[in-house]
Chain A
Amino acid sequence: MSSVFVGSVGLALLLVLLLMRIPVAFAMFAVGFIGIWILNGLQAATGLLSSETFALASNSELIVVPLFILMGNVASATGMSRKLYDAAYATIGQVRGGLASATVIGCGGFAALSGSSVASALTMGRTALAEMDRFAYSPRLSTGVVAAGGTLGILIPPSTGFVIYAILTEQSIGRLFMAGILPGILLLTAFLLTIALLCTLKPELGPRGPKTNAREKGRAFLGAVPILAIVVITIGGIYSGMFSPTEAAGVGAALVILIGAVTRTLTLRVFWDAARSSIVTTASVMLILIAAHMINPFVALSHLPAEVSRLLVALDFGPFGTLVVILAIYLVLGCFLEGLAMLVLTLPIFMPVVLQLGIDPIWFGVLVVLTLEMGLISPPVGINVFIVKSVARNVELLDIFRGVLPFWLAMLLTLALLVAVPSLSLWLPSMM
C-alpha cells in the first residue's frame, strides 16, 4: 500500500466523517492519528498526539484566541459594541448593506493589526453578528462578511503569512509587505462591491435604515467614543512599539473591562459569565487547531503534496500554465489543510520551478498567500467558517458556506486580476 494511497483514502474518509456530523475536531484527530499509525507506527502517532496537543495548548502566540474572545464578549455584554453599531448605523445605515460594508472594513482592519484572520473572525463574529441581526440583516450576509472579512488581513502588514513565506523562500519581508498593500485594497474593494451587488439583487439581505439628522448622528457617535478610544489606543500601541500585536489582545481586553467597570455597565456577574463563556469558545476553537496539526504530519508523511505537485509540474504547461496549475493545487489543498502548514509542505517543491520559469517570487508570494486565505473559507475544512459557526450557533453551517460563496468568488476574481496584471503587486515594491 503506497503512502500516497493511504493519504488519499485518509482525506476521503475525513470528508465522509465530516458529512456524517462527526465533530470536526474528532474527525481530524481520528484520521490523523490512524493515518500516522499506518504510515509511521503507533509510537509516532501517540508521540505526535501528545506533543502537538501540549505544544499548541502552550503556544504563546495563540493566547490571542482567548483574549480576543474575552474582549469581544465583554464589549457586547457592556453594550459597547451595540453603541459602535448604533454609530455605524446612524452614519451609513441608509445605504443598503451599509453595516455589512462597515463590518468588512472592521474585520480587515482587525485582521491586519492582529495578523490573524482567525482572531478577527472570533472577535468580530462575537460582536458583529448579533448587531447586524438587530438591524434585520440576514445571517447569511452577516456570517459571510465576518468569515471573509478576516482574510483581508493577510495582505496588509504585519502579516504572519508573508513572514513565513519570506523565511521559507529567502525573500525580503519588507518588499512582500509593500507588495500586499495594493492587492489588499483591491480585495477590500471587491468585497464592498460584492456586498453592494448582493444587496441590490436582494434588498432584504441588508435593508436600508431610516434617515438620520446631524444631531442623531452626533449622539450616536458620542456613545461610541469609549470603544473607538480603545481601538485607537490599541492601534497606536502596536505601531508605536508599546506592545506587540499579541499583547494588544490582553491590553484591549483589560481596557474593555476597565471601561465597563468604570461606567458600571459591567457587573461582577456579567463579567464572570463573559469570561466563562470565553473559555468555552476557546476550547472549541483550539481543539480544531490542535486536530488540524494531526492532519498536517499525516499528509506530510503520505508524501501526497510532493507527489501530486511533482506530477503536475512534470507535465510542463509553460510559465503561465504552471503558475495556474500551482495555484489550483493550493486551492484544492486549501480545502483540507491549514494555510501555513501548506506553505511548508509545498514551497520546497514549487519554489525551484517558479524561479526556473522566471516567475517573480514576490508576485508569487502575493498570489500564494491570497490563495491560502481562500482555503480558510472553502469547504469542507474552512477554519474561519467553523469559527464563525462557533460564535453563531443558531446559524446552520451550510448557510454560512452559502453566505461565504460570493466573497470566495470575489477573491477568485481578485486572484485572476492579480495573475493577469503582475504590476498590481510589483509596482509598490519596485519604488523601494
Chain B
Amino acid sequence: MVKYVLYRILLFIPTLLIISLVVFYVGTLAPGSPINKYCDSEEINFENEIERSKACQSAAYKLGLDLPRFYFSLTQRAFPDDFYKILQKTHQNNLESLILQYGNWDEIEEYYESRIRLQNLLLKLPKSENNDQIIELKSLANQLIVTSDNDKIIKVFDEMQSIFDKQGSLSLDIESEYENVISSYGKVISNQSIQNLWIPKLVWHGFNNQYHNWISNFIKGDFGVSYFDGRKVSSRIKMAMKWTLIMNLVAIFFAYFISIPIGVYSAVHKNSLFDRLMTIALFLLHSLPVFWIGTMLIVFFTTSEYGAWTDIFPTGGLSSLSSDASYWSRFWDTAYHLVLPIFCITYGAFAFITRQMRNGMLNVFGQQYMVTAKAKGLHQKEIIWKHGFKNGIFPLISMFATIFPAALAGSTVVEIIFSIPGMGRLAYDGILQQDWPVVNAILLLSAFLTIFGYLVADILYKLLDPRVKF
C-alpha cells in the first residue's frame, strides 16, 4: 500500500512537469505582450521614444519578462541569440517579419538602429519648429518602425524624400540619418541570406529564465503577480477559492442528500412506475445544458417582465448590501444571491449521482451475499441498508475525492453567468485579459488537485473495500 502510494506520487512529478510546460507554452503563444499595457499602447504618451523604451524596460523588469522564456530556445539561425531582449511587441513583430523575409540579422539590426536614431532625432526637435511637414515626417518615421512589407517601405521612403525636397531647412543630422536608413535598408535587401531560415539553432539561456523562475516560485507557494492589477495571484486565488468551495460544497451536499435515497429507492423498486419516471427524468436532466438553465432562470426569475411574482431572485453577483450592514443580514443576502447558482450546480450533479447510486445498488443486488442475507431471513431494511448500501456506495465515495478539482473548474460556466467571483470566473477573466500568471496558476493547481483527487479516490476505495488490491 505505502509502496503503491509512493510510486503514484513519484509519477506525479513528470506528469506535473509536462502539464506545467503545456500551460506555460499556451501563455507564450498569446498575440499580445503584457508590458504593452505599460508602455507600448497608443494611449500612453511619452516625451520621446527613449522614454517609452525605458518604461518598457522597467515594466518588463518588474514583471520578470526581460528574461529568456525557457532554458533554451530553438529557432532559425537567422535570429540573434538575444532576440528576447527586444521588449516592445511592435518592434519585435516588425523585426521578426523582416528576419523571416531576408534572414540577415546583422543588416537588419543596423537598419533597425538607424530607424530608431532617425525617430529620436525627429522627436528631439524643439516644439517651436513643429510644422505640418515635421509632423508628417514624424508619423512616417513611426510608420517605418512597424512596416515590414517592401513595397510599403519604399512608399514611405518616397514620401519622406518628397518632404525633404520641399523643406530645405532641416538639420543635416536628420538628412544624413535618413540617408543612413535608406542605405542600411538597401543592404538588407541586397545581402539576403535566406538559407539561414532553414537551419535550426539551439541556444542555451541558462537557469535565469521565465519558466524556471515561475515554476520554482510556484513550488515554494509563490504564484507571482497578476499582470492585470499587480496584486498577488495567491491572494486573488484564495478569495476566489472561497466562493467556489462554498458553492460546490453546498451543492454537492444537497445533491448527495437527495440522490442517495432516490437512487436506493429506484434500485429496490426496479421497473416500478417511480423508477421508470425517475430514469427518464434523470436522463433529460442530464442532457440539460447548465448554461441554458442558468440563462432561463435569469430570464424568468430575475425580472418582473412576466408578471410581478417572477422577480424573485437577484440577477447576479454576491451581495447588494453595503459592507456596514450587520453580519447576519449580509449572510442572508449572500445566501439569497447564491440560490440560483447553487441550484444550477446541484441539478447536474444530482442527475449523475442518482444514476450512479442506482446502478451501484443494482450491481450489489445481483450478488450472492444478498441472496444469502435474504435466505437468513433478515429484515428487508437490514438487507438493503446494511448489506446492500454499504457495498453500493463505494463508487460514490471515491467520486467524493474528485470534488476538489471539480470545484476548481466545474462551476466555471455558472460563475460566469451569475457573475460570481469564483475560480472559474477568475480564470475566464484572466484568459480574456491575457493575465497569464493567474491563468497558469489556476490551470496547474487544478491539474495537481485532479491527480491528487484520483489518488485519494483510489486509496479511499482500498480502505473501504478490502477486496480491492493494488
Q: Do A and B bind each other?
A: no
B residues lining the A interface (CB < 8 Å): none
A residues lining the B interface (CB < 8 Å): none
